[in-house]
Structure 1
């Protein structure tokens, strides 16, 4: 794996961790979201007042 890819992955993980910590400290709830490929499955979901935890930057992580 190229060093630049590792650095970008580390930055993405650090950003997610910070968003989770901040939400926890403020008592806010997060909605985990990716590319939306499964958005039509199950019951309709229309969240209000939830911050989005965007997982798209972590595509391809397998370990």
Structure 2
């Protein structure tokens, strides 16, 4: 499996049709899968030190 980065995870979200309302960020060494509400407030769906764990959450939540 290829090394996961924030950019590859965000591309995966866009490919799944979720790029407008979800995004992956990295803050203080942890990856955050966020849902962006209509008012712009971020809501964390998953937080992990391991990017592949975030990838697993994307596959689980958004199909794969």
Where on the TM-score scale, by shorter chain, does this alignment land: which range? Answer: under 0.3
- Larger % of helix: which? 1
> Higher RCO, 1 or 2 (CA under 8 Å, sep at least 6)?
1
- Larger % of strand: which? 2
Larger Rg: 1
TM-score for both structures, normalised by structure 1: 0.25
TM-score for both structures, normalised by structure 2: 0.25
